[in-house]
Structure 1
Amino acid sequence: MTSTVFITGATSGFGEATARRFAEAGWKLVLTGRRKERLDALCAELSAKTEVLGLVVDVRDRQAMEAAIASLPPSFDTLQALVNNAGLALGADPAPQCDLDDWDTMVDTNIKGLMYTTRLLLPRLIAHGRGASILNVGSVAGNYPYPGSHVYGGTKAFVGQFSLSLRCDLRGTGVRVTTIEPGLCESEFSLVRFGGDQARYDATYAGAEPIQPQDIAETIFWVLNQPAHVNINTLELMPVSQDWAGFAIDRSVKG
């Protein structure tokens, strides 16, 4: 039986690259995205390689996600893997200068959207049993604070802890749970974060040889194709050019 993977946020970046990688291997795909034209184009392209179902839906919309998942046709009933990729960062300014709407959007997408998708698909994954997998895309920002990471980093810390706790709850079901935590990666993600500022985007990656979406897709494919008795708990990856910053000290305040 052909394996099926459900990928959220498939219209760009990691999600799009992951969809392409699994299509090459013949996996059936359920792809979600908010941008209909992009999703339709991707589904049309990949349908030449495998069976593809596109769901134009926002993971933040619980009712819409419930309806979309409930409407999956019988040919997609057996689900082997979920890739919770949909997520975003908005802004990188200090917390006092941030927009609360941006904070709400990050929480609603990175936390609540991931929660909704996971809970709604758990029965299908448990029904598959041994070898089924949930892969959540976290970030090194959930492990190491940096200026401007505030709420984004907090949401990714949630992803890591939620994943570990989910593993405990799924003991005995055969369902595996993994968090991958990328560092500096070059994708549309950063352009969104910087509000479309191309110069700021370019400066972020200049000379850094960052990780590419295809690298993440290959990592996800490797994780989800491990033997059924192997669970990769957490996998952190960075470009060789990146490391951990030293602790910052402000020496300007006296008194």
Structure 2
Amino acid sequence: LALDVTDPVSLGTAMEQIADAKLQIDLLVNNAGLALGVDKAQASSAENWQQMIDTNITGLAMVTHKVLPRMVEADSGMIINIGSIAGTYPYPGGNVYGASKAFVRQFSLNLRADLAGTRIRVSNIEPGLCSGTDFSLVRLNGDLEAVQALYRDVQAILPEDIAATVAWIAEQPAHVNINSIEIMPVAQSSAALNVVRNLPRA
């Protein structure tokens, strides 16, 4: 189904089609998401912030809200959310995008708390630098040179790596729940905390 997770009408229509076809969703992968811009918070676009919130937070939550009751009724199903290391490690320009992915991490854990006593499993995958998608092209407003510079001389993780992780989680025995997986390329690691020198005293 083609649908817009930020549009309640589009989402509602899709769910009606699934119900009319008498289909049961066994696995929901909440992969819809985006980052827009790399400006610091004080120079960011309010429209970009709103679109990230509408997609990464509201869209993910509302899709889950539509699907979850039928999973609970069947006492079967799995939800795999695609978060980001940006939800754990802050960086300049990450502002609302990072905050939205922190929401995904905490939402995943809270779903597990609410679903205790059911057989429904919830996981959160947090990728680091990943090439081979339109993610950075969208974030950098179509600036292909900037995208190429970002991935130059770096062996980033690939969409196939994340897909394989989704498949591995889904293949685990029914009594196993993978709470969270953080994945970075070998070329990436967390950075030291920033210290500003010679900052004028207050």
Aligning the two structures, in what range does the TM-score lie when normalised by the shorter sequence? over 0.9
Moved beyond 3 Å, runs of 4+: 73-76
- Tell me whether 1:109 sits opposite 2:55 in the alignment: yes
Unaligned 5+ segments in structure 2 are none
Match of 2:130 among 185, 204, 218: 185
Distance 1:81 1:125 in 2: 9
1:140-151 alignment runs, 5 A limit = 140-151=85-96
Distance 2:165 2:57 in 1: 22
CA contact (8 A) 1:77 1:124 kept: no
Give how far 1:129 is off.
Answer: 2.1
Q: 1:126 to 1:71 in 2, by over 3 A?
A: same
Unaligned 5+ segments in structure 1 are 1-54
- Tell me whether 1:169 sits opposite 2:114 in the alignment: yes
1:197-249 Cα offsets, whole Å, 9 max, x none, are 01110111111100000110000011111110000001001000000101111
Give how far 1:73 is off.
Answer: 5.3
Match of 1:72 among 18, 22, 31: 18
Q: In the alignment, residue 7 of structure 2 is paired with which amino acid?
A: D
1:121-158 Cα offsets, whole Å, 9 max, x none, are 0122223324x100000000000100100000000000
TM-score if structure 2 supplies the norm length?
Answer: 0.95
1:116-131 alignment runs, 5 A limit = 116-130=62-76
Q: In the alignment, residue 80 of structure 1 is paired with which amino acid?
A: D
- Tell me whether 1:220 sits opposite 2:166 in the alignment: yes
SS across alignment from 1:157: helix
RMSD after superposition: 1.2
Q: Which residue of 1 aligns with 2:82?
A: 137
TM-score if structure 1 supplies the norm length?
Answer: 0.76
Distance 1:123 1:170 in 2: 11
Q: 1:136 to 1:225 in 2, by over 3 A?
A: same
Give how far 1:67 is off.
Answer: 2.0
CA contact (8 A) 1:80 1:128 kept: no
Q: Which residue of 2 aligns with 1:21?
A: none
